[in-house]
Amino acid sequence: MRKTLIESLFRGKLTEPAPHLSDEQKSGLVGTVNRIAQRRLGRSLAIRHVDAGSCNACELEIIALNNALYDLERFGLKIVASPRHADVLMVTGSLTHNMGAALRLTYDAMPAPKWVVATGDCACTGGLFAQSPVCIGALGQLLPVDLHIPGCPPDPAALLRGLIALISGLGAVAHESGKN
Amino acid sequence: MAPLVNNARWKDVTRNLAERDATFVAMWGERNDEGGNVNLAVRHKGERSIEIVSHSAPDSHYPSVGRHHPSAILMERAIQDVYGLVADGLPDTRPWLDHGFWPHSRARTSYNFKPALGPGVHQIPVGPVHAGTIEPGHFRFSVNGEIIVRLEARLGYVHRDVLGLMRGGAIDDAAALVGRISGDSTVAYAFAFARAVEQALGLTVPPRASTLRGIMAELERLANHLGDFGAICNDSGFSLLNTHAAVLRERVLRLAALVFGHRLMMDCIVPGGVLRDLNEEGATALKSGLPSVLVTFERLVDLYEKTASLQDRVVGTGRLDPALASLLGCGGYVGRAAGQDFDARRDMPYAPYDGIDVRVPVLSSADVDARVRVRIAEIQESVRILLCLLDMMPKSSIHAALPNDLTVRSGAALVEGFRGDIFAFVRVCDGRISDVFVRDPSWFLWPALEAAIEGNIVADFPLCNKSFNAAYAGCDL
């Protein structure tokens, strides 16, 4: 173990600024997340994920956001276990009738102001399952959606880009949520 | 291969299952004008093919297989919910997929969990929304102090009626859906479905396509095993290994994206062949990238073996009785860690594995540690197979057009996914799907997990659960 630890120490960070983007986009991306997240939320945006009928591909890519190369938490974005701690509800899947009640309860358990992100094609539009008799369809039919991140599944870079878009628009959305 | 309605043969096959002369593979239903049919697929001992037999259900009733063989119980409950076909004599008639929320639900929303009685026994309900970024399902623990006396999993939360959407549709549309049954096994599912369609149509895919399928399947196995290895260590409280393993997984996914254009290789395998070819640059990247992943991984294995606190958590934890693994027909790392010496790549060989010597690790200790060690051996073996396939790379086209056939034809296939063998059955006519079933290995892993967790402490559940890593979407369908 000592050898691995010492090597890791001297090898330097694995973390990348942002994957699969041009240099220009890369620096822009990192800068934006850091600056805006700090301004709006004091480096703290807590995300609660709920799978509402996903095939598990979106989950794999959300999990990948936490690996050392993407390191989501350096941006102040943190995936949390309880909806009570969450600012953002990140929903994946084609919204099955069987998950409708649990999703609603999770949303209701979150303190306001709160934002909803439809993650992946299924949550955005119902995807290939839009016509299923046991699915409700797009997430928008059940909850007010603040951001859509398309993709099947969206890769970690797309997820990061989407979260930046959300943070950039938070001021306006928070105002609306306050009225509800 | 076409399943013929043969009620007498059904009885024989059920007896074979009860007497353990055959392994249960799958059961599924279909409605027709006369009521319906129920299909049963089994693998007879020592045989390299799968027998499929059908039983008519003229008044929506058929004789239960589950009363003789426990592996069939969940599927018979699912058949009851989705097709309204009732298994006479089924020991557990509670709804499975129908939670009472569908527009056409027959079930009520309340659900009676199996009881656990005794002084001090209480229940811990968990889910369907879990603390982590994972799929939804409900676990009902009955515990006495810290000790789990009974676990019951209730699934069905992500039932999307994938099979219903596939039926009646074009083969290509069905191929897109099959790749989204269980995202971590998208390659294996597409592979199994494609082979079933090809068998139905009597189509041989070009050799290069088969080799590419093998490369994709092994990359998928590698990525998932690396992820699981880290996640199991993480749930044992040793996050360092998870951090390193997650980086290795990411490297494999990036290689996949570089070579095949999609990190999880979705929609790359289609009936008739593959849609993505491997170019020189891709082959070079794989040939240099994969061995380097393995070099780093060996260091992690060393750390896994030498960390006493970690070993203390995994050794002896969540032991699955090998007799039960055999009875249930558990495949994959769960079965192989419990003495079940079966791997579809070796035992029911298909291209490209028919030209390769696939070494199958089998252990007998059947605990979390054994399931980790099977994965470790399979990671090493996958890299070896990958390099072997890369050296083979025959030159040919990568796709053959599907013949347009107006007769009704059916085919079946068994493909070894990372989690175990995936069975696919398809009946096609005029380019459309008239019946389809795809069986995830997890159908047998969930009952096995319920049994393996008995007598363990609640705090060891995440660890045991991760070592099984059964799919939810894969069997909710």
Q: Which of B317, B318, B353, B323 is nearest to B340 (CA)?
A: B323
Q: Which of residues 80-99 of B touch A (CB under 8 A)?
A: 97, 99
Bridge partner residues of A50 (DSSP):
A91
Residues from chain A that touch B226, judged by Cβ atoms under 8 A, are none
Other CB atoms within a 10 A radius of the CB of residue B99 amount to: 27
The pLDDT value recorded for residue A35 is 57
Q: What tokens were used for B4?
A: 């013929």
Query: Phi then psi for B319, rounded to 5 degrees?
Result: -80, 130
Q: Averaged over B27-46, what is the pLDDT?
A: 89
Asked if residue B187 and residue B281 are part of one domain, the reply reads yes
Cβ pair B311, B369 in contact under 8 A: yes
Q: Averaged over A158-173, what is the pLDDT?
A: 69
The pLDDT value recorded for residue A169 is 59
Q: Is residue B64 part of a domain?
A: yes
Cβ pair B54, B4 in contact under 8 A: yes
- CA B435 to CA B423: how far, in whole Å? 14
Residues from chain B that touch A52, judged by Cβ atoms under 8 A, are 136, 158
Q: Averaged over B272-286, what is the pLDDT?
A: 95
Of B136, B227, B266, the CB nearest to A102: B136
- CA B395 to CA B212: how far, in whole Å? 11
Q: Do A59 and B183 touch (CB under 8 A)?
A: yes
Asked if residue B212 and residue B64 are part of one domain, the reply reads no
Q: Do A50 and B129 touch (CB under 8 A)?
A: yes
> What is the domain class of A24-167 according to CATH?
alpha beta
Of B182, B227, B247, the CB nearest to A55: B182
Q: Do A134 and B158 touch (CB under 8 A)?
A: no
Asked if residue B277 and residue B221 are part of one domain, the reply reads yes
Q: Is residue B104 part of a domain?
A: no
- CA A105 to CA B474: how far, in whole Å? 25
- CA B445 to CA B425: how far, in whole Å? 21
Asked if residue B171 and residue B146 are part of one domain, the reply reads no
The pLDDT value recorded for residue A74 is 82
Mean residue pLDDT of chain B comes to: 93
Asked if residue B383 and residue B318 are part of one domain, the reply reads yes
Q: Minimal Cα distance from A84: which residue of B?
A: B131
Instruction: Report CA B123 to chain centroid distance, whole Å.
Output: 29
Q: Which range, of A1-10, B90-99, B420-429, B439-448, averages the lowest pLDDT?
A: A1-10
Residues from chain B that touch A82, judged by Cβ atoms under 8 A, are 131
> What is the distance in angstroms between the Cα of B160 and the nearest Cα belonging to chain A?
6
Interface ipTM above 0.85: yes
Q: Is residue B248 part of a domain?
A: yes
Q: Which of residues 139-168 of A touch B (CB under 8 A)?
A: 152-153, 155
Residue B213 has pLDDT above 70, yes or no: yes
Cβ pair B220, B289 in contact under 8 A: no
Q: Averaged over B56-67, what is the pLDDT?
A: 91
Residue A77 has pLDDT above 90, yes or no: no
Of B133, B183, B246, the CB nearest to A55: B183
Residue A170 has pLDDT above 80, yes or no: no
Asked if residue B125 and residue B39 are part of one domain, the reply reads no
The pLDDT value recorded for residue A180 is 34
For residue B377, CA distances in Å to A51, A134, A144, B468 come to 32, 41, 47, 16
- CA B154 to CA A41: how far, in whole Å? 38
Q: Which of B238, B226, B263 is nearest to B418 (CA)?
A: B226
Q: Number of residue pairs across A and B with CB atoms under 8 Å?
A: 142
Model confidence at B127, in pLDDT bands (50, 70, 90)?
A: confident
Q: What tokens were used for B117?
A: 């009685």
Asked if residue B386 and residue B261 are part of one domain, the reply reads yes
Q: What's the whole-model pTM score?
A: 0.92
Residue A25 has pLDDT above 50, yes or no: no
Model confidence at B106, in pLDDT bands (50, 70, 90)?
A: confident
Cβ pair B135, A54 in contact under 8 A: yes
The pLDDT value recorded for residue A173 is 41
- CA A71 to CA A67: how far, in whole Å? 5
The CATH number of the domain where B78 resides is what?
3.30.460.80
What's the domain range around B463? Answer: 162-476
Q: What tokens were used for A125?
A: 């539009």
Number of domains within chain B: 3
Asked if residue B188 and residue B76 are part of one domain, the reply reads no
- CA A20 to CA B189: how far, in whole Å? 28
Q: Do A133 and B164 touch (CB under 8 A)?
A: yes
Of B103, B135, B247, the CB nearest to A14: B247
Q: Which of residues 305-364 of B touch A (CB under 8 A)?
A: 306-307
